[in-house]
Amino acid sequence: MNNQQLATDILKEIGGKANVESVTHCVTRLRFVLHDTDIPNKETIASLDGVISVVEQGGQYQIVLGNRVNDVYDTVLQQVGELKEDNTREKTKKSLFDQFTTTISGIFTPALGAMAASGTIKGILTILSVAGILSETSGTYIVLYALSNAFFYFMPILLGASAANYFKLNSYVGMLIGASLIYPTLLPYATEGSLTFLSIPVNMMDYTSSVFPAIIAVWVAAKINGFVQNWPLKDLRFMVQPLIVLLVSVPLALLVVGPIISNLSSLLATLVNNVYHFSPVLGGLVIGGPWILMVMFGLHWAFIPIFLNNMAMQGFDPVMGLLLANQMAMAGAVVAVGLRTKNDKTKALAYSTGLTTLIGVSEPALYGVLLPYKRPLIAAVIGGSLGGVIAGFTQTVQYSFGGSGLLGIPLIINPAGIDGGFYGGIASQAVGLVAAFLITYFWGIIEPEKRKAVKSKESVDTKINFQEVVQGEVVPLTEVPDKVFSEGLMGQGKAVKPQSNTFYAPFDGMVTALFPTKHAIGLTSDQGVELLIHIGVDTVELEGKHFTTLVEANQAIKKGQPVIKADLAAIQAEGYATITPVVVTNASAFEKIMNEKESLIVAN
């Protein structure tokens, strides 16, 4: 049974969304708090294909699913929709970069299909135009171009709606915020004239096709909305609450976001221009790859006047010549993702957006693939900078405005004839493409693979010494006061009554599961043995307190490497048992599991 169907059946049997007060999960099971615990039929739920067991304890209705719990939990959340605040996934503290990428991915994911389709149409139109098949003045081209460019032009509106959904704000309020930023009457003030609001000068920018101003404005609006939510507005809430949110958030976005982006952009433009004149090679290194990030944050606008001035005064712009490689670097990184990923949806998205990136349409690749995977984005930045170094060394310049990627090649042809800068520009693109591809292919993709226990006909034995996991008394699983483990429902193994606070990897392999509450960890050996170390009973309720993780998910590990530290005395003081089940969760994949006194031999 697939995860979608299993989640549907579970919700049906527990009484539907109306009977769910909250839902969380731990490393093995869904944990429901139900309004009426008499509704579910335990035997019926336990008989569902994919359910290992059903446990009722601690006021929770727990459905044991094993390794698939994360996927089923996500599907359950989609089906039950918004519940109380405590329904959300148990959280762990993330780095700012992780929080940033998670947020952006969450906002862009619902729009990826439309964005990829728009980019593909735009790319095809570009090819047809360059090939002379379709004139840019024809009605067919004009209509199709409007279709292909609408998503990108009105991105603040579309992302305003998506961000509003993500930040739990009314989507129409989010759309209004995005629409206000690109309202036609305001846009002319981005280039001429002065605009004030309550006598305060507005540093107006052209927010069309921008990403972050709308997202930041909606995030601020969501915070304001949460504050106003506590006001006793009663029957007037439906009108007064959005009125207050809009009146505060939109002017705040125009008065604060615009100046911040404008000042940062001007500072970067001055810095890059000075660096280039000091050393074109250093300039290529500084701007070649990071230009991707500058565009993403909308910090590239101050460069435009410099480009225009150089074109007018010299007939070319040298800084633009350093940017040829970053588009190709993004394409190379995205294609590498397509080759390496095991996810069919990501693979299809990577290949399609990789092709459009080659001809200058990079937004779908950037927000749909590079940013969510993080490392490929870093690879693209590195590739773009390496290519920029080549362009700086050969003093490649750009003689006109136009496309990017492969379509940028004609723009670096010297009107006086082909020169070294032209060949340097092509070389920079090739370097950017290849470098980003190789970095991504060999370093940029970390996905937990489903390893087969048998990789050849050779016998592969793995010995797991439980004393090497943690020092203590090794006892049978039957002594664990949790029948999910004591009855062997999660797999075969033993338990340890730990006498040391440090837990170790008993073999070489990889961390394939690290739960946010830090009380459990999943390891997979190089031979494919999947091992679960679950420290204590019901310690998920501590929400990470007294636990310290020493490794990260998807990290390679060596035998004897510390993976978790736990303050056992503090855990026991909180009233929790510290007995630790250590079980092989994929025992059925092997021919024989041999139990010894203090070890387990997994043989095939």
Amino acid (1-letter code) at residue 427:
A
pLDDT digits (tens, 9 = 90+) for 499-517: 999 999 999 989 888 877 8
Contact between 369 and 334 under an 8 Å Cβ cutoff? The reply is yes
Give buried/exposed letters for 299-320 (b at 16+ CB in 10 A, else e). Answer: bbbbbeebbeebbeeeebbbbb
Q: Where are the alpha helices (DSSP H) in 407-515?
A: 420-439, 466-469, 483-486
User: What's the pLDDT at 238?
Assistant: 79
Give the pLDDT score at 298. Answer: 66
**234-243: long-range contacts at Cβ-Cβ below 8 A with a sequence spacing of 24 or more?**
242/170, 242/173
Which helix (H) or strand (E) is 304 found in, with range?
helix 303-314
Catalytic option among 25, 300, 519, 534: 534
pLDDT at residue 420, as a whole number? 92
DSSP structure class, residue 543: T
Residue 457's pLDDT is 37
Interior/surface letters 412-426, b for 16+ CB within 10 angstroms, e for the rest: bbeeeeeeebbebbb
25 is catalytic: no
pTM, 2 dp: 0.53
Looking only at the bridges linking them, the beta strands covering 599-603 and 462-465 are: antiparallel
Strand 556-557 vs strand 509-514: parallel, antiparallel, or unpaired?
Answer: antiparallel
Ordered DSSP codes for 49-89: TT--EEEEETTEEEEE-GGGHHHHHHHHHHHH-S--GGGSP
Question: Which amino acid is present at 84?
Answer: K
pLDDT in the model for residue 89 = 39
CB 540 within 8 A of CB 517: yes
Find the DSSP H helices in 136-200: 139-153, 155-166, 171-181
The residue annotated as part of the active site, out of 25, 26, 300, 519, is: 26
Residue pair 529/586 in contact (Cβ under 8 Å)? The answer is yes
- In this predicted structure, what is the pLDDT of residue 458? 44
Q: Are 328 and 387 in contact (CB under 8 A)?
A: yes
The pLDDT value recorded for residue 451 is 38
> Would you state the pLDDT for residue 25?
77
Q: Which residue has 């109380």 as its token pair?
A: 84
Tokens of 200: 């305060």
- CA separation for the pair 296, 209 (Å, rounded): 10
In the chain, domain spans: 3-80, 97-268, 279-444, 462-603
What's the one-letter identity of residue 138? S
In CATH terms, are 3-80 and 462-603 the same topology? no
Which residue is it, tokens 């460019």? 149
| Domain 3-80 CATH class label | alpha beta
* Cβ-proximal residues to 534 (8 Å cutoff; 6+ apart), any chain: 27, 28, 485, 519, 520, 580, 581, 582, 583
Rounded to whole angstroms, the Cα distance separating 318 from 274 reads 12
Q: 3-class DSSP state for residue 297?
A: coil
Q: Tens digits of per-residue pLDDT, 120-177?
A: 787 788 778 878 899 989 999 999 999 988 988 998 999 999 888 888 888 899 999 9
Residue 161 CA, chain-centre distance (Å), reads 19
Select from 478, 505, 502 the least CA-distant residue to 492. 478
pLDDT confidence of residue 177: 95
CATH class of 462-603: mainly beta
Which 3 state secondary structure label does DSSP give 562? strand
What is the distance between the alpha carbons of residues 468 and 463, in angstroms, rounded to a whole number? 11
Beta strands in 308-380 (DSSP E): none
Q: What is the pLDDT of residue 166?
A: 82
β-strands 580-584, 492-498 pairing: antiparallel
Angle between the N-to-C axes of helices 375-393 and 420-439, in degrees from 0 to 180, rounded to the nearest 10? 160
534 is catalytic: yes
pLDDT for residue 450: 40
Query: Do residues 356 and 327 touch, judged by C-beta distance below 8 A?
Result: no
> CA 158, CA 91: separation in Å to the nearest integer?
28
Three-state SS for 236?
Answer: helix
Please list, in sequence order, all residues whose beta carbon lies within 8 angstroms of the beta carbon of residue 392, skipping any fewer than 6 positions away.
Answer: 276, 279, 280, 281, 282, 283, 284, 285, 288, 322
CB 133 within 8 A of CB 153: no
CB 21 within 8 A of CB 34: yes
Asked if 13 contacts 48 with a C-beta cutoff of 8 angstroms, the reply is yes
Nearest to 557 by CA among 510, 591, 522, 515: 510
114 torsion bin: left (phi>0), alpha (psi -120 to 50), beta (else): alpha
What does pLDDT average to in each consecutive run of 10 residues of the chain (604 residues)?
A: 84 88 78 84 86 75 80 84 47 59 73 77 81 91 92 90 86 94 92 89 86 88 87 79 92 86 77 86 92 78 70 82 93 94 80 88 84 88 96 91 83 88 95 96 69 42 86 90 82 90 92 85 87 90 88 87 93 91 82 74 68
- Other beta carbons less than 10 A from residue 401's beta carbon: 12
